[in-house]
Amino acid sequence: MKEVLKNYSGIIFLLLGITIGSIIGIVAPGFVEYIKPLGDIFLNLLFVSVVPLVFFAVSNSIASLEQQSKFGRIILVMALTFLFFILTAAIFTICAVYLFPVSGVTGSSQIMNEAADNETWGNRIVSFFTVGEFTELFSRRNMLALLVFAFLTGFAARKTGEQGKPFRVFIASGYEVMKELLLLVMKLAPVGLGAYFAYQVATLGPQLFGFYAKPLGLYYIAGIVYFLVFFSIYAFMANGQKGVKSFWTNAIYPTLTAISTCSSFATMPANLQAASKIGIPNSIANLVIPIGTTLHKNGSSMSSIIKIYVAFLIIGKDFFDPANLLLALGITVFVSIVAGGIPNGGYIGEMLMISVYKLPQEAIPAVMIIGTLVDPLATVLNAVGDIVAAMFVNRFVKVSS
């Protein structure tokens, strides 16, 4: 019994913090503004710690790979895995809305005015992958550029051979230090996440039963089914029954973290810890999970389909026209992979959807509100999906731990 309490003490305290926070959010919403700063402080500490961890984890993984062919194979299998998972989630959601259609959805009169952005697409593409100053790299708003820089740094460290050995040691040491720093920060998780969850319940809870109840209900039911069934299938494909048991044993903590923070970024430390317990080699986990945090989004894939579907319901057009479905899959891949690494990428994906389908401006509030309200479950699917993706990659790329 003592051993069980020792192993699950972190989860127990986290659940206790979330439960207390939820109760406060429901019975005393006016008190939330006084405790929300505790959640903000915790999340800020977490974000500040995670950014350097991403750099050290990715660059160290690439620099420490002994065989060039292994690196290329990991990247290829990872890319195919991400694409397979995202398309599977999208197709599953299309089937769900076809079999269980939503009726009675009408347009909203809410008007949202967004500032016009006159920046050219060429400049946007450049800004996605690079930044103007070196110091801007280490910002969570520039994660895609940081990943590119970490890739190049790790590759350069490998190419320098013996002369680069001190730097490779520094990268490896930095990774270990950042992991330890995150463990210290996570000690505050029960208080910080409890306070933040109280804020979520107090602010978003009432809206869940309002205008968008039907499409939200469909998303949450389909999302939970996908989470339980498809993640089990992926884990089984990765390592049989042992893989399923190992995945669900270690996925509890990342799931709770994702629900509490609504951030794949903040869930990454828990994912890395779970991957280590599952037995995924660091050379795979430290690539797939940080990159997946930015570029692999099962939940965003499903929410993209739901948002497109609701927009078509609002304007009274046929979502299931083959041309519309193909466009929906293309937009979903963009939103889930490309826009995931862009600041406010969800809004960019929504604007792309409106533009491609030539939908009226009145559809914009609908997709924005849905995107906000499905965020908790979408984050779980996005974040925890990175663990099963790492298991999947490990199934086809065998490297030493």
Poorest-pLDDT segment among 34-38, 98-102, 262-266: 262-266
Q: How many structural domains comprise the chain?
A: 1
In a domain, 282, yes or no: yes
Instruction: Identify which of 239, 269, 243, 244 has the alpha carbon closest to the alpha carbon of residue 254.
Output: 269
In a domain, 207, yes or no: yes
In a domain, 401, yes or no: no
Tally Cβ neighbours within 10 Å of residue 34. Answer: 11
User: Which pLDDT belongs to residue 73?
Assistant: 78
pTM of the model: 0.69
Average pLDDT of every residue of the chain = 79
Q: What percent of the chain has pLDDT over 90?
A: 24
Domain interval for residue 305: 1-396
d(CA 324, CA 115): 29
Residues near 240 by Cβ (< 8 Å), separated by ≥ 6?
none
pLDDT in tens, 306-359: 988 888 887 777 889 888 898 888 888 877 765 554 444 565 566 667 666 766
Instruction: Calculate ∠ Cα 65-266-181, nearest 5°.
Output: 65
pLDDT in tens, 128-148: 566 677 777 777 666 667 878
pLDDT in tens, 176-211: 898 888 778 878 888 887 887 788 778 766 554 455
